[in-house]
Structures are given as C-alpha cells and as structure tokens.
Amino acid sequence: MAFNSIHFRSQFPSLQCEGVYLDSAATALKPLVMIEATKDYYQNVATVLRSKHTKALALDAQYELARSLTADLINAQYSHEIVWTKGATESINLVAQGYARKNLNIGDEIIVSELEHHSNLIPWIQVAQQTGAKVIKWPIEIDGTLSVDCLQTLITPKTRIIAVTQMSNVTGFQPDIYEISRIAHQHNAIIVVDGAQGIVHHPIDMQQYQIDFYAFSAHKLYAPTGLGVLYGKADLLEKMDCWQSGGKMLKSVSFTDFEPANIPYKFEAGTPNIAAVVGFYAVLDWLKSIDNFAATHYTINLVKDALIKLKTLPDINIHSVANSSLITFSIKDIHHDDIAILLAEQDIAIRSGELCAQPLMQALNCKGVIRASFMPYNSSMDVDKFILAIENAISILK
C-alpha cells in the first residue's frame, strides 16, 4: 500500500498548530484513535483479570488481545512471552533482577555496547555489583559504529549476557542484531536488546533473530506513556524469579510461602496500566493499515534533505549516521542548550544535552548534542522551518 504522508499527519491532533515537533525520539505524538480509546476507557472504567461483570469481561478480552497483537508485531511465538511493564527501563531491570541476578556468578561477564542509553547500562552495572560479575565495554569504532569483529575479541568463556541497542538514540546507528544474536548463542550467552528507538521504524522478528529478551516502551510507538513491553523466550521467563510481588501474580499464598502464577502474570503484580494497554491496542490495530516500510522510507528521505541543508551552515559537526530517522549535531563555540532554547522560542521542539548516554558522549568527545528526530508525520515544511530556525539561532549566538 502507498504511504500518504498528508493523511497520516492529519491523524495527529497536536499537529493542527503551527509548531514543528522534532522530538519523537523522546516520545512520539499520539494519533486520534489512541486518544479516543483511552478517553473511552476512562468513561467506561473497569478493571482487568479480577471482576466478572460484563464490562470487566469485555475489557479482559481486549487486554489479552493487545498482548496477542504485540506478539504479532514482533513475531513472538506465544502471546504469553509478552510481559506488560511500565516502560523499557523497567523491562530491562526485570531481566537484570529476575534473570541475571539469579544466574550470574563471581567473574561472569556482561558485554554492554558503548552506544547504550543509561537504561541498558545501569541495570547491568547494578546486577554486576550484586553478583560479583563484570561489565565489559564493547567500544564504538572511530565512525561511531559497532564492529562485530570487535565483539568476537571481547567474548570469553565467562560471557553470559550481551546487551545492545537496536538503534542508538544518539547516533541512529543500528547494529547487526541478527549476527550479534548468532554469535551470542554460539558462545552460550544470551542477548538482551533495547528496542526503544528501533521498534517504531524497524520491528524485529523474534523467531528469525532468536533474541532472548527484547524491551521497548509503548510511548515511542504512538501509544500512551507508562506502558512497556518485555518479550522473553518462554523457557527463560519460566525460570526467572518474580521481581515484584503482590496482587494477581500468584496461584496461592500462606504466611510462609507463595506459588507464583504462570507467565506472564507472575511478573505483573498489582493493577496494571489498563488505559495504556487499551490505547496501545488501538494503536496496534491502527498500524495494520500503515505500510511501515514506506513510512520509514519517507522519514529517512526527510532526514536526508535536512542533512543536506544543515551541512551548508557554518561550523556544524554531525554525529549521527546516514540513513537514520534522526540527526544529532553540535555547533562549534555554541552551547547545545542555547540552540534548543532559541528554537523553542520559534516553536520548534528538539532535544539537547547528553541524551541519557554519558559514556557515549565521552566516546564522541561531546559535552552534549542537538538532536532532531523525525517521524512519518513530519513534512518537508518542517525541515525548512527547522533549518531556518538553526540559521537564525546561529546568527544570534555568533
């Protein structure tokens, strides 16, 4: 099916104003179908997996259908391999505390790429401190990419986990996840992939890639905040310890012990973010009508146009890779936050700073960057306004 950018853009109410939104790597804008679904839930509120009245039972079915649609999105083998969390950060922490803490021993090694967002670094530092394991840095190359050959030199008989992003939130680089997964399993290690940035542009096939754990946040995929997904292979989830406990994550309990529920419910203690799951269901159903490949191609072409124009400006240093949905750059002798403030005054939303990736910033020899991230709801007019705003900001600051 052809991608109609004008029709796609029209489905986002927040774009009816004059501003330009180029901060989608932080959170995506929300389509009307999601907004209406969430509103409808709160107007007809019920809980899930507890009550037996009509509204609750209907909601139970929708709640589990959302899980099935999520499994379909990433081609998980079973819907019960999908665990609801509050975000990608919690998903990775669940793996660290529920799987790694139980299975790591003193001297074991966790390879973590230098590209990682703090959410896919700090949980591994923490669990290493708890178990006596070691975090091994997988450094970036001079061009900001990751080398699979380098990974091969880092792996030892002590390697237990390889943690890597699907797409860097700073450079936009996408590692070869298929090859990394193959190498990990060849050395009896597991692979944990942070899909927060990649899921919206390039959903990964879990069975084809044989990924062990995959985490992402719904809000990056047009859905509500406060909802995340952890995919895990069923056999690994079965062996994991519960990280949080309370209501509805058990089969039976006494004052001396409890029996956890089956997966995924043993990881979903307490009342879940029902409205977010309902909103996510609406988004997943809506996405069936979108040609994601064509939408991503359109987005990357916008970025290419923006890059060509941006590179004509003085003292611009580009830090992102080609064929990405985002641009990160710095400007000689100008602070990144000054640019962000001046663009905000022109009603253009971008991101500036360390982007929750301090070790990567150190590797790039940057104190901070300016990031413009694009989605299929952006337009060529957005590109022109963005470039003009950068020109104006440079003329003021210099």
**CA nearest to 178, candidates 206, 138, 142, 216:** 206
d(CA 100, CA 87): 19
What span, in angstroms and rounded, lies between the C-alpha atoms of 178 and 167? 13
Contact status, residue 219 vs residue 227, Cβ threshold 8 Å: yes
- From 74, 125, 81, select the one nearest 236 (Cα to Cα): 81
Q: Alpha-carbon distance 70 to 285, whole Å?
A: 10
User: Bridge-partner residues for 137, per DSSP?
Assistant: 112
Measured distance CA(97)–CA(213) in Å, rounded:
13
Q: Which of 233, 240, 157 is nearest to 192 (CA)?
A: 233
**β-pair partners for 214:** 193, 231
- Asked whether the beta carbons of 205 and 198 are under 8 A apart, the reply is no
Q: Which helix (H) or strand (E) holds 352?
A: strand 351-353
Q: Which residues pair with 348 in a beta bridge?
A: 20
- 195's tokens: 């899909």
Residue 378's nearest CA partner among 29, 35, 26 is: 29
Contacts of 273 (CB under 8 A, 6+ apart): 84, 86, 224, 226, 227
DSSP-based three-state secondary structure for 78: coil
Q: Is 289 exposed, middle or buried (0-12, 13-18, 19+ CB in 10 A)?
A: exposed
Q: Which residues are catalytic?
A: 356
Q: How far apart are CA 290 and CA 3, in angstroms?
A: 7
Radius of gyration of the chain (CA): 22
Q: Which uninterrupted H or E stretch holds 358?
A: helix 358-363
